[in-house]
Amino acid sequence: MPYGNKPLHFGHIGGVFVPADAFARFLRDRIGAENVRFVSGTDCFGSPINEGYRKLKEAGEFEGSIADYVLANHERQKATLEAFQVSLDIYEGSGIGHAGDVHQMISDQFIERLHESGHLKLDSTLQFYDAEAGTFLNGRQVQGHCPVQGCKSEHAYADECDLGHQYAPVDLIAPVSTLTGTVPEMRPVENWYFDLPGFEDFLKGYVRELEADDEVRPVVTKAIAEFLAPPVIFVKNEHLEEYEAMAAELPPHEFRPAEGSKQSFEIEFASIGERDAARDALAAAGLRFRTSKTLVPFRITGNIEWGVRAPVIDGVEGLTVWCWPESLWAPISFTITINDEQGMPRTSWRDFWCSDDARVYQFIGQDNLYFYGVAQPALWEALRPGGLFAEGPDSQMRQTTLVANHHMLFGKKKASSSGAVKPPTGEELLEHYTPEQLRAHFLALGLDQKSVGFSPKPFDPDPAKRDDPRYADPVLKEGALLTNVFNRLARSCFYEAQKNFDGCMPLGAVTPEVRRRAFEALLDYEERMHKVELHRVMSVCDEFIRWSNKWWADGIKAAEASEDADARRQVLVDSFYLLRMATLLMHPIVPVGCEKICDYLSFDFGDFFSWNYDFDSNDELCPAIEIDAGAHRIHELPPRFDFFRKHESQYK
């Protein structure tokens, strides 16, 4: 869910949306569209939106309300996703229209159920207050250095840094108000907190199950496990004598001296409460320290005006829901919304989220694993027994499958809309590439394995490389498979049918070697898709398409040399069969061109892209009268036709 304060950049599209779309399209082909819900939407709330709106209003660059601002960005995001052929069943907003109304209802229900179950606590914590501006500061109106040990982020906000680490606002190092440039005060405010530390045993068991599953990406289990360590404070070695003088006054703890060249010693506590008491004592004594990643109470509500209204509980009014927890249950809201639009019963959301034969895949970036891999599983577990609507065991939400990708770098650097390195937007990329060229490239990057650089030549900061034709554009590598090899296979089949077979696709038995090769590709492809190993899916397709094209080229050359009409017919039977299989496999990756092939083949989309037919030959797609005649009529292909075109700028 991208924030509603900006357009989509290449990381949103290539790192999350295109991989999710390819998987959703595969599932629709494989198990039927009625069994799939592909949902997302604009995150309408949160401090980045408040801050973006404030800056534009003060600069005189936007007129209208903050709701108008979010809606304008939402429409721009939606248009970009459509341009990239992302086939969401619903892309709405957590505060827009019917989806917003449903989301408010779900938010009320979720928070009330957490309170009824005894997992919410009203706590008074210190929040940043700008005395010069006379206002409490939202998360993005405070910037400093992350206090989590080992994190070097200098883009840390009130209670989280840009790398996803969570901490108490009081721990932020060198805080500065973005409103006035002054050092803000700390003043107490009351909010509801979820008892996340109370689910430590559950989360440890949960991560053990994930670690035993070889289909779960290592980045998921590693990130979750990091937050399950005991509470630790890291104190600079220069303060050792001061610590020793006050150690007896601190809560019970274990001291560990600095090892090797480490600059800090460690003191470990049994609970987060004891760690916080020690932290306060160390801060009062002027000692420099950092804290470890560990489970801390998860904030549910906040104090900014622009947000989902929090329900009134125990007489506490005027709060809004912090954007992170409500964004976790927003996909449920979107599922209910799309089911409403399709006239389905309200309870039908449980078929997708609660049923034993349902599975929820969530495509996210690695920086968000704390929220989806730590906070969300505990929140789901906290609703036991009865689930979200307390309707019994059948409405208990199942834990989700996290498909977490590593960072997509811009060149060699991490790009962020709020950082120094500004990433190109989706619209800017489409000025130089076709959507299908970009989709194929994004899926081939292997983000499930490691962080990978995205280096589009038109955006190279070195003008010498950008304008030098000797430097190849790495983004076009996979596009060449489409515009050259796949195009050639498809056109060869059509033009041969038009020239020598009266505009018909000949039917009949496929050569056993061809059928065997196709079956191997199908099985390998399906296994890779099941594991969401999309770069390996691309490798399977690449190898199969190139093999198919060679089978055509070698076969037609031999048939023409021998002047054997039967051999000529057989190679076309084989090649149309290979074209069908290649088009089926590539459909989730480059849907528009594949559907164009299907259209010219004169087949029904539902039949052609369904995995419910056997794959012995193309005959099963045809009516009996055509099978008897041994030929299927296809549409005439114009001369020099491209199913997959290059971008116009690439023809210059």
The answer to pTM > 0.75 is: yes
- Compute φ and ψ for 424, nearest 5 degrees: -65, 145
Nearest to 629 by CA among 506, 497, 493, 498: 506
Strand partners, 130: 135
Confidence of residue 345 (pLDDT cuts 50, 70, 90): very high
pLDDT (tens digit per residue) in 396-419: 999 999 999 999 999 888 766 656
pLDDT at 417: 62
Q: How many CA atoms lie within 13 A of 456 on its CB side?
A: 23
CATH 1.10.3720.10 fits 476-650, yes or no: no
- Backbone torsion region of residue 79, taken as left when φ is above 0, otherwise alpha when ψ lies between -120 and 50, otherwise beta: alpha
Pinpoint the residues of the chain covered by CATH 3.40.50.620: 1-119+198-226+308-459
Kindly give the pairing relationship between strand 232-236 and strand 361-365: unpaired
Tell me what the mean pLDDT of segment 493-518 comes to. 97
Strand partners, 311: none
Helix (H, G, I), strand (E, B) or coil at 416: coil
User: What's the count of helices (H) and strands (E) in the chain, helices before strands?
Assistant: 24, 20
CA dihedral in degrees (609, 333, 435, 580; nearest 10)? -10
pLDDT at 129: 86
pLDDT more than 90, % of the chain: 79
Please state at what angle helix 435-444 crosses helix 18-31, rounded to 10 degrees: 90
CATH 3.40.50.1000 fits 1-119+198-226+308-459, yes or no: no
Confidence of residue 420 (pLDDT cuts 50, 70, 90): low
pLDDT (tens digit per residue) in 218-234: 999 999 999 999 999 99
H or E element that contains 130: strand 120-130
Checking if the pLDDT of 207 tops 90, the result is: yes
d(CA 562, CA 502): 21
Pinpoint the residues of the chain covered by CATH 1.10.730.10: 476-650
Could you give the residue ranges of the DSSP H alpha helices within 421-486?
Answer: 426-429, 435-444, 463-467, 477-480
What CA–CA distances, in Å, run from 509 to 5, 489, 616, 619? 57, 20, 8, 9
Tell me what the mean pLDDT of segment 341-362 comes to. 95
| Residue reference for tokens 């709060």 | 319
H or E element that contains 260: none
pLDDT (tens digit per residue) in 60-73: 999 999 999 999 99
Average pLDDT over the chain, rounded to an integer: 93
Checking if the pLDDT of 421 tops 80, the result is: no
- Backbone torsion region of residue 318, taken as left when φ is above 0, otherwise alpha when ψ lies between -120 and 50, otherwise beta: left
